[in-house]
Every structure is written in structure tokens, then in C-alpha cells.
Amino acid sequence: MNDAKLYNVIRAPRVSEKTARLQEVSNQYVFEVATTATKADIKVAVEKLFDVKVEAVNVVNVKGKSKAFKFRMGRRADWRKAYVKLAEGQSIDVMAKA
């Protein structure tokens, strides 16, 4: 898998209180991923980009919310979230500056 496809699979890390707790307790990291990405694609992308060993990948399809924009109803896009569990002793610095 080339670098361009790796960056298309992994869109961005999701950082919140819940994801920070997951990192501490179960060594899981959460990423926003492409809607067409499979678990195998996500595993390969994380292992190559961050040089870590991935134990498991769980994927959730998040439905977009219906919201009111001015006087008409609109809908946010659906997106996909991946929970990646790393091997014992591995870590990713998701707060690193670019």
C-alpha cells in the first residue's frame, strides 16, 4: 500500500475525554477513517504510519445528524470511526505537533 492510500484510509485521530480514557485504560486509539476502508486496510495503515503492532480493529459507522440551517433542514455527512487496540507496551502520540 503506497503512502497516498495510507493517508486516505486514516483521516484524523479523534481526541476527546472518552478517547483519552480509552488510551489510558485499554491502550485503544480512535481514528476517523474512510467510509470504504476495511479493518485490514486500517490495520496496515496504522502499523505503517505509526510503526506499531496492532492487535485488533473495531469499526463503527456514525450516522450524520439532521440539523436546521436557516429555514431549511439539512443533514451532516455519515462517517466512519475505528477503534484500534495496540499491543502491550506500544503507544501513539496523537497530540504531537505537525
Confidence of residue 98 (pLDDT cuts 50, 70, 90): low
Rounded to whole angstroms, how far apart are CA atoms 47 and 23? 17
**pTM of the entire predicted model:** 0.89
pLDDT at 4: 84
Sorted by where each starts, the structural domains of the chain and their CATH numbers stand as 3-86 (3.30.70.330)
Average pLDDT score over residue span 14-34:
95
Collect all residues with Cβ–Cβ distance below 8 Å to 17 and sequence separation of at least 6: none
Average pLDDT, the chain: 93
Q: Is the pLDDT of residue 53 over 60?
A: yes
- Count CB atoms within 10 A of the CB of residue 10: 21
Evaluate the CA torsion angle 59, 15, 87, 54 in order and state its sign: positive
30-46 mean pLDDT:
96
When pLDDT is averaged across residues 22-27 and rounded to a whole number, the result is 94
